[in-house]
Structures are given as C-alpha cells and as structure tokens.
Amino acid sequence: MDVKCAFLNGFIEEEVYVRQPPSFESARFPDRVCKLRKALYDKTLHLLSRGGDTLIVQIYVDDIIFGGSSHTLVSSFAEQMSREFEMSLMGELLFFLGLQIKQGLEGTFVHQAKYTRDILKKFNMGDSKPMTTPMSTNMALDADEDGEAVDQKEFRGMIISLLYLTATRPDIQFAICLCAQYQASPRTSHCQAVKRIFRYTKFTPELGLWYSSGSSLSLRGFSDADHAGCRIDRKSTSGTCQFLGTSLVSWSSHKQASVALSTTEAEYVAAASCYSQLLWMKFTLSDCGLRFGRIPLLVDSTSAISVAKNPVLHSRTKHIDVRFHFLRDHYEKGDIDLVHVVSANQLADIFTKPLEFDAFTRLRGELGVLHVEGVDNALIKGEIESQWTNLIALLVC
C-alpha cells in the first residue's frame, strides 16, 4: 500500500509543537515543548491481535506493507486505511525498498537481483570477470600507507552500495565490513578488494534468502571469533548469526572494541554479543505472543563455554570487561544453553575471515542463501530441512 500525499522531511508553514521525547527531556526546561521545524517520520512496526488472529503492519515513510493470519482482518485494515487516507493498494508484495520478494506455499524468497545489476552497471563492473568468492584467503588488508590513493568519494559510494546489498546477502558481510574500515584513506589495494566483491556478485547476482513456511519458531544462535585478525591493531573479529527455526533472521561481522588477550576471551566476547541479539529478539517476539525456554547458543570454543559456566574461572579472566559477564548470569538463570559445535559446522565462521571456495559455498547454503531459480523447485523445502537435520545430527554427535 502506498500513501499518495506523503511528505518527507518537508518544511512546515504552520506552527506545530510537540512534547519533548521520552528520556530526552531538558533538565532546565522540563515543562516546555519543542517547535517542529520539519516534518517527522519514522520506521514503525504495529501489531494487532484480535480473536486469536494477528495483523502486522510495517510503515516506512509513505510505503506500507502488511499481512496477517486472517484474510478478513487484512481486508478490514485495507478498507479502513483507504477510507481515512488517499491510498493506492498495490496488491501482493513483490518489491519493497530495493528488495524483491517471491512468495509461495513453501515459503518466501527475498533477493536483490535487480539492485545487484544496477550497482554493477553504476560502477562499470558489468563486464568484469566473475569471481567465485568475495575475498581471497591470501588477502590481508592493512593501511597500505605507501600505496596509491584512490578517489575517496567513489570508494565510499561503492562501500555504501554493497552495504545495502548485505540486507539479503550475508555471504558478503565480512568482506565488505573489512573493506569499509579503510574509507578515510582508501588505496589501490582497498579498491581492488572492493572490486573483487563486485566481481563475486556478478557471478552470483540472483542469490537471496529463503524463508521456509514450514520452519519452526525456535531461536538459536551461532557465534565465532577470529583472534587478533586485524593486522593494524590486532583486534579480533566477532561473527554472529541468529535463526528462527531454519530461517536466518540477523547476522553481524564486526571488529571487537578492545584487544583480546586470548582466543578464549575473543570467543567469549563474541558469544556475549550474539546473546545480546538473541535476547532482543526474544523480547521482540514476545510481543507476537511467542515464548521461549533455554535458547541454544552454539560456540566452537570449549574454553569460552567453561568461562560462562564455571564461576571459579573468574579470577583467571578478571581482565574481561564486566559487561560481557552478563552471558554467565543468563546461563545461571537458565535463559541460555551454551552448546559446543565443531569448527567445521560453525556457521558464524563465514563472518570472521575469508574461506576457501568449498567451505564458503557450504556455509553459504546452510545459512539459507539460495539461487532464485531454485525457489520454483518444490524440492527446496525438503533439501533445506534435510541439510538442517543433518547439521543438527552432527552437532548432537
């Protein structure tokens, strides 16, 4: 649904006043109001529960996407909105903010094939030689201060374009986040690394995320760390991903804020970061009426798991910032279940370092990143669930 007469950050001719935002009230003038200078807008999510049915509405400026468990409830909402505002009802969701959506009985596929081709054309990479991985395992980026400087504006434009592509392409998350660290003073080596990511997207333009309708509603997370992976400051890289059933919901790849003194510490910090996201998801999904018990967090470091489970080890790890020990606190409360996973099956490994082709493509598939052509195949559901079942079986073993 589209609002015909929406405004975006427009100037206001009338005098409009608003209350001070909660938690941001002025200490000197707590009773005053603010004069609005420009029109306000927000990204907002609304939920409505009625008689056992649920309606979900997402608003972004003048675009609205909505759906629910009851056709009657959805139709009632559409009719009411059309009466109150001048609206265009666009029908089934196919395209939204650069995302292409393909819906079917087996599930939903989200990809950015058109956007990928657009940015390849924009940066003159359409005729480049395709690559099978976004980053070579032999590549180790650093400041390269002696290297030739490149156009900073163009480099940043390439970074920003690729960052938006990560909305459906977790397989390029690590590579683009690593390259983004050199936006202040980009060199030829950095530009070549970014162009390799473009060449990889040319090889895989129609990859996207598959969300199976048969997926269970259970939370689980994976966390990993590459200890002292940064060549400049020796900080570690955390990689995390969170699933709702078999569906990848969120993921991250970022450099840790401080230098970890050991692999154990790096893994422990990454696990704490992963559980922070899982905790947020748990509280958010509770608004939809979902309840969760102990949430599995899969880590490939037995020593990091021991730090979380055994308070006696605290004296040996007292240099770890206290804010990360909330992981141990939630383990003792029974909110989280720390599970060891062998490194070969650590899905978050793809967010911490470059991988060889075979390992990269295997983990990419297990994250649910598939090709658009395969979505029409009714066997996809069985293949994905079979892969996941095999993975879980390996973890249990």
The token pair that represents 138 in the structure block: 């032999």
- Per-residue model confidence (pLDDT) at position 5: 64
Q: Is the pLDDT of residue 395 over 90?
A: no
- Start-to-end CA distance of the chain, whole Å, equals 49
Antiparallel, parallel or unpaired: β 295-299 and 336-340: parallel
**Which of these ranges, 50-54, 294-298, 387-391, has the smallest mean pLDDT?**
387-391
* Predicted local distance difference test score (pLDDT) of residue 118: 97
Q: How confident is the model over 17-47, as pLDDT tens digits?
A: 989 888 788 889 999 999 888 776 676 888 9
Domain ranges of the chain: 2-91, 111-203, 216-366+378-396
Of 9-18, 42-51, 186-195, 360-369, the least confident = 9-18
* Res. 396 pLDDT band, cuts 50 70 90: very low
Structure tokens at 68: 């629910």
Structure confidence by residue, pLDDT tens digits, 111-140: 999 999 999 999 999 999 999 999 999 988
pLDDT recorded at residue 26: 87
Rounded CA gap, 298 and 346, in Å? 8
Q: What does the pLDDT read at residue 397? A: 46
> pLDDT band at residue 311, thresholds of 50, 70 and 90?
low
pLDDT digits (tens, 9 = 90+) for 189-245: 999 999 999 999 999 999 999 999 999 999 999 999 999 999 889 999 999 999 999
Instruction: Tell me the whole-structure pTM to 2 decimals.
Output: 0.84
CATH 3.40.50: does it fit domain 216-366+378-396? no
CA distance 247 to 219: 10
